[in-house]
Chains A and B, each alone.
Chain A
């Protein structure tokens, strides 16, 4: 079945460092891909999405490009801030207009940013 694998954390970086959190997926067809973020004390919230190959999702300075040839959707940010400290979840659905039961989540990557 479909699955998502993301890099294990925790990831600790200094402020203004470049961030990459790797995510790869296994799926038939053309899934939609997502990154969610969970800030301390809050619920998961959608950060960005991409619905077809070569699409780039972006939000709050974060970007991720849907790479079908490498089945990847890595999350990147050029210069992280302390406020980016959170847990990041990669996810997919198939197709986009799917019910909540069809969301496949990764295990999450905890990111800590040092001032």
Chain B
């Protein structure tokens, strides 16, 4: 069965460092997403990406964040200068359809980012 792959599963970084979280969406999907979950809190939407541009983003997704599809398979989330409060589980997801998202999303297993 096709799956969304995220690497690494756990990333530790120092405050102020740049990190890149990587995702390989399902190959024929066109819509890509990042979510995050701070420990003990709710899963929150960060950004959606389609046709090589951001289609929607939340208030969390400020200038410190960026996304990119550098080639035909990878989808990356970059945090330019990490803060302690960026420590969270980051989930990538992809879909072949923009609507009915709750039923159509395929999620990766997440990258646990720890900022020290």
B98 contact set on A, CB distance < 8 A: 99
Choose among B41, B45, B106 the residue that contacts A107 (Cβ–Cβ < 8 A): B41
B75 at interface, CB cutoff 8 A: no
Please tell me if the beta carbons of B95 and A100 are within 8 angstroms of each other in the complex: yes
A101 contact set on B, CB distance < 8 A: 45, 48, 56, 58
Check A105/B42 contact, CB under 8 A, given A43-B3, A44-B91, A100-B31.
yes
Interface members, chain A 69-115 (any B CB < 8 Å): 89, 91, 93, 96-108
* Interface residue range, chain B: 20 to 34
Please tell me if the beta carbons of B56 and A4 are within 8 angstroms of each other in the complex: no
Interface members, chain B 73-116 (any A CB < 8 Å): 91, 93, 95, 98-103, 105-110
B7 at interface, CB cutoff 8 A: no
Choose among A38, A97, A107 the residue that contacts B100 (Cβ–Cβ < 8 A): A97
A-B contact count (CB 8 A): 79
In the bound complex, CA of A47 to CA of B76 (Å): 27
A30 → B minimal CB distance (Å): 14
What are 29 residue pairs bridging A and B, where the CB atoms are less than 8 Å apart in the complex?
A: A4-B42, A34-B102, A38-B109, A43-B4, A43-B91, A43-B108, A43-B109, A44-B93, A46-B102, A49-B103, A91-B102, A93-B101, A93-B102, A96-B102, A96-B103, A98-B102, A99-B48, A100-B33, A100-B93, A101-B56, A103-B102, A103-B105, A105-B43, A106-B42, A107-B37, A107-B40, A107-B41, A107-B42, A108-B37
Q: Which residues of B contact A (CB under 8 A)?
A: 3-4, 31, 33, 35, 37, 40-45, 48, 56, 58, 91, 93, 95, 98-103, 105-110
